[in-house]
Structures are given as structure tokens and as C-alpha cells.
Amino acid sequence: MSIQNAKEAELTLDQPIDVAAAPAKSGHPKGLWVLFGTEMWERFNFYGMRALLTLFLINSLRFQESDSSIIYGGFLALCYLTPMLGGFIADKFLGNRNCIMLGGSLMALGQFLLFFSASTFDNNVGTATTIMWTGLGVIIFGNGFFKPNISSMVGSLYPKQEKTKLDSAFTIFYMGINLGAFFGQFICPIIGDVKDANGVRDIHAFKWGFLAASMAMVLGTVLFAILKNKYVVTPEGRPIGGLPKNNSKEDFEEGEAQSTHFTGRALIGAVVAFVALVAVFKMAFGQNVIYSLVYSSGITLAGLILSDKSLTSVERSRILVIYIVSFFIIFFWAAFEQAGSSLTFIADNQTDRHFFGWLMPASMVQIFNGVFVVVLAVPFSIIWDKLRAKGKEPVSPFKQAMGLMLIAISYFIIANNVKSLGTSGMLGVKWLILLYFIQTCGELCLSPIGLSLVGKLAPKRFASLLYGVFFISNAAGYALAGTLGSILPPTTDKYKTAETQGVNLGDVLDEKVQPTGKDLFLLAQFNIAKIDGEKAKANNVELQKVIDANNKTIDELKKADKNAVVKPEQLTLPAQADLDKIASNKIVHIEYPKFAGFTIHSLFEFFMVFVVLCGIASVILAAISPILKKMMHGVR
């Protein structure tokens, strides 16, 4: 914004940012590059693990794809829910710096636990599964301490008159995120997702990918510890992110309150509202406990912050903009985060992954997102700068509406390319690469712009907490991503596996034939059909013991011949009486997945779900952007 434009804004807006207070400096502070490097190694750790997680759950710990999608969505959701706690602790007690080092240490430990889980499942799958849950839990809390605090420090590197550079700064910062994602999604799959010349996966290699992720997080934490005191400082040289009790009045905007004022009544009301909302989401909407916690936390925290008596009308208006934008980006992340679940399953099972003659690991296909961000981040930053200089830069919410529309377009293109594949056709990897290219353009319009928007609109005393709110919207998106990923219809591999067991899966799903108890058991044995545990227990049918025994037989057959095709006669079947109960009492269940009352028969219908959700969200957000612009009170 020019000086003249700033003066004109003063005539029409309540509290515009005074960009004429001092001359702007060129370039970016060195502290940005320290935070860039720290975040880069943290993202190596996180995205490297993310690339392997669902495949590890399915191939080593024998989870179903739908269950893996729910676990994946819940894990990511909790990773972006705990920043609420981490932001609060940083703002009140430990400060950003200490929380970053604590979070980095916890994430390194959690990755090592995953390495240990992937090293022990051969001896005891139950123990390995318990270690896996523990590792994910440690990573969740580590991410909660790390994520909001490093993001909130970026804005403090710049003097007040240079706040207009935050979009560029966060885009560069975002490039660090995705440079780390690129390295993580390249190195971890190369050493952790290994297949032989016949396409048989080495299920013992996952541990090396998790170990590499752990070492990357150690490196990032040490890097920050060494360089933080010298470079992560304000333009005046004061340390950024120290203990809250050491904050000075210079760290706050003129006239801004320096502490929060939550009343006892507001805190009690928030607790009551949280419990009530959890019950509503759990019982009325059928969400699991984790998803209910995520959705309820976002709504409760949003209301609690607005109850603070120290908020001015302008601050409250700006915070409402953060909330509104946060709601719409839920749909973006629900679509975008299919990368680690449904899109990875499609890449693994129904995609020709030959890339210039090289068969790419399925877990590596999502690497193109990181590649494209690294390539496009600076050009996007330049575009925003040039548009700003000409006075034509779109307001931030409109940029984010563009991001939503781009992700809708990406799914529309791939939906039309899978339309004719049927149950045996293979998707060309080029279409997944194109999808990631378009989604990356959408991501650069939405995610770094959202981080920048929070940095510019959030009052200083709420900075980390409001980043926590912003990340809860990511969490809600990831929870929805898990739900949507679980409605992926059967891919080619499921039809082929069923065929080897003498079952025509298409006829069963289309209800052209009535499956026998044996058919249903064999489908459950290979994780194609689901077992209703309560019905099995009520009918005294112990299927899991038979399945576990057969899994050992399958492992022995595979050790003798990696390419062995397991036949029904090589497996142990339940007693005939139990097989009869399976069919008559629907103990084993299989059908096309459903969403919002619609049956998803094919990959085309699956992808169109995202086209509709993101397309509608984009149109609405674009339409209300002029209103949000006024509510921002001069902040671009």
C-alpha cells in the first residue's frame, strides 16, 4: 500500500495499518531463513512419515484401507488440534522458543517409536500396534508444541511498517515447508517403500523410512537451538519468542492490551459448551471420539476468544474474518489431504507408475506436490508483489477462494480420466502429476496466504492461540479427509484378489449374486470385507483367530515364493456352522461405500464428491470477499 493509499484509507476505515511510519527495508531478515531451515527439517520428518504411514498400517499391521484412512485422518486432525494447547502454553508459560525445542524433541522420539514398531511386528503384531499408537501419540503432542509457535514468530521478524511483506515472507517460509516435504517424500519412500523386480513389497523396509524421519527432526531441533539467539530477533534486536513474562510493551501494537481477560464464567461456559458439542457430534452425527473432539474444540475455542473483555470492536471484527476463512478452508484440506490415503491407495493399486522408464514407489507419487511448491513459491510471491505494486492484488479471502476452485478443477479433470477405467484399467501417473500441479497452485493461493492473514489480523496477545484456531480448521479438514478417504470404492487389486479366491466381487457388490459364508469369509481374510465384531461375539463366531492363523500361513508361503498366489484350499476355514452364521446374520459385511445418502459406485463418483464440495465453497467465499475486506479494517 502506498503512502497516499494509506492516507485515503484513514478517511474511510477505523484502524488502518500505518505503512508510512518509517521507511521500509529491502530484503528479508536472516531470522526468516533460520525458521525456514527449522521448518524444512520438521516437514522432512512429518511428510516422510506421512508418505509411509497408511501403507505400513495395511501391509505390516494388516489394517483395512478404510480403517487406515480413518486413522490417518484422525492422526492428522489431532496433530493440528494440539497446536491449540501448544499455543496456549507458549503464550502463557514457556514462550515460542522453548515450545519449538520441546516439540521437535517429542517428534523425533515419536518417529523412533514408529521405527521400533516397524522392527517388531514379525514377532508380535499386537505389541507392534501398541508401540505404533504410542509413537503417533507422541508425534501428535510434539507437533502441537512446534507448529503454532514457529509460524507465529515469522510475523515478529518485521517492523510494523513492513507488514505488507508478510505474504511474500510466508510464501518463502512455505517454500521451506515444501522443500522439506520434497526431501522427506523422496528419501523415506526410497529406503522405506521397497519392492523387488516382481513388484513384491518388502514389508520390513518401512522402519528405515521412519528412522530417517527421526534423524531429520533431531537435525532441525539442533539447528534452531544453535542459531535462535543470534538471528531470531526483532528489527530492534530483542529476542523473539522468549518467556511471556519477559515481553515488553514494544512487542505490542500501540494501544493494544498485553494480556487476555477470560472471566471465570466464560471459562466454565466454554467447558460446558465443549462437552455438549462432543456429545452432539458423537451421538447426533455419528462421529468417532477423535473427530468429535476436533470439531468441538474449534467451535469452543472460537467462542472463548470472542468472550475476552479486552477485545476492541475492530479486533473482534478481524478475528471473525479469521474464523470465517478458517471454516471454508476445511473443505480445501479435506480434498488436499487425500494425498496420504485414497490417492496413495490409487497410486499403489490402480496406477501405471512408470515415470520415464522408472517404476516409482506408490508412496513417492505425492512428492510432486513438494516439487511444485519449491518451483512455484517464488514466482507466486513475485506475482503478489507485482499486483500489490499496481494496486490490483486480490484481497486474501478471494485468493483463498481461487485455491478452492483450483482443487475442484483438479479433481474434475482426474474424475473424467478414471471414468472409463472400469475395474481393471490403470490410470496413467501423468494424471496424478497434473492433479498435484493444479492442487499446488491452489495451495499457494490458500495456505501461506492464510498463515499471513492470521499474522496480520491477530492481536499480539492472541497470536499463538489464534494460530491454534487456524490449525484447528486444518484439523477439521483432515478429519473430514479421513471420512472421505474411507468411502473410496474398491480398486483393481481388490477385484483381482477376490478373483483368486473364486469370488466375483463386482457381482457381489452389484447384488447380482448372493455370497456364501465362505465367500464372505475369504473377502474378510484379505481385508476386502469388514467383520462386525459385536455380531461375531454375539453369535460366538471367532473369526479373528482363524484369520490370524491364516496370515501366518500366507507369510510362510510368501517367504518360500514371493510371487505365490494363495488359493482357498491352502487356508483354514471356520466351521460350516460359523460360515452359515456369517451369511445369515451378516457378520461379515460388504457393499459400496456411501456419503451423505449417496452410494459411491466408482472412482468417478468418488472424485466428484470433492468437485462439488470445493466448488461450492469457492463460489460462496468469493462472493463474500468484499464483506470480509471491510471487516479487515484496512489490512490487506
| β-sheet bridge partners, residue 599 | 594
532: left (phi over 0), alpha (psi -120 to 50) or beta: beta
The more confident residue out of 507 and 168 is 507
Query: No. of H helices and E strands in the chain?
Result: 23, 10
The rounded distance, in Å, linking the Cα atoms of 320 and 632 is 9
The domain limits of the chain are 29-245+309-489+605-631, 264-308, 493-591
Nearest in space to 45 (alpha carbons), one of 222, 163, 199: 222
Q: What is the pLDDT of residues 146-181, one digit of tens each?
A: 987 887 787 778 776 555 667 677 777 767 777 888
The rounded distance, in Å, linking the Cα atoms of 551 and 564 is 14
* pLDDT of 635 above 70: yes
pLDDT level of residue 93 (50, 70, 90 thresholds): confident
Stretch among 1-10, 278-287, 572-581 having the lowest mean pLDDT: 1-10
pLDDT score of 260: 60
pLDDT score of 461: 77
Rounded to the nearest 10°, the torsion over CA 377, 145, 299, 612 is 30
* pLDDT of 18 above 80: no
Helix (H) or strand (E) holding 352: strand 351-352
pLDDT level of residue 469 (50, 70, 90 thresholds): confident
Q: What is the largest distance, in Å, between two alpha-carbon atoms of the chain?
A: 85
Q: What is the pLDDT of residues 310-359, one digit of tens each?
A: 888 999 999 999 999 999 999 999 999 999 999 999 999 999 999 998 89
Counting residues of the chain whose pLDDT is more than 90, the rounded percentage is: 49
* pLDDT of 11 above 60: no
The rounded distance, in Å, linking the Cα atoms of 109 and 88 is 23
pLDDT score of 13: 33
- What average pLDDT score do residues 603-627 get? 97
Q: What is the pLDDT of residues 186-215, one digit of tens each?
A: 999 999 998 877 778 888 999 999 999 999
- CA distances for 325 relative to 615, 616, 622, angstroms: 15, 14, 11
Query: How many residues are there in the chain?
Result: 636
- β-pair type (427-428, 351-352): parallel
The rounded distance, in Å, linking the Cα atoms of 229 and 155 is 17
The mean predicted confidence, pLDDT, of the chain is 86
Stretch among 256-265, 267-276, 284-293 having the lowest mean pLDDT: 256-265
- What average pLDDT score do residues 248-265 get? 60
pLDDT level of residue 636 (50, 70, 90 thresholds): low
Predicted TM-score (pTM) of this structure = 0.83
* pLDDT of 384 above 90: no
Q: What is the pLDDT of residues 45-63, one digit of tens each?
A: 999 999 999 999 999 998 9
* pLDDT of 141 above 80: yes
The more confident residue out of 8 and 312 is 312
Here the cell at position 123 is 514377532
Amino acid of residue 66 = S
Q: What topology does CATH give the domain 29-245+309-489+605-631? A: Growth Hormone; Chain: A; (1.20.1250)
- What average pLDDT score do residues 65-83 get? 90
pLDDT level of residue 450 (50, 70, 90 thresholds): confident
pLDDT score of 1: 33
pLDDT level of residue 5 (50, 70, 90 thresholds): very low
pLDDT level of residue 597 (50, 70, 90 thresholds): confident
pLDDT level of residue 110 (50, 70, 90 thresholds): very high
Amino acid of residue 448 = P
Instruction: Write out the DSSP string of 140-169.
Output: HHHHHHHHHHHHHHHHHTS-GGGGGGHHHH
pLDDT score of 14: 36
pLDDT score of 24: 44
* pLDDT of 255 above 80: no
Structure letter (DSSP) for residue 239: B
pLDDT score of 163: 58
Q: What is the pLDDT of residues 518-534, one digit of tens each?
A: 999 999 999 999 999 88
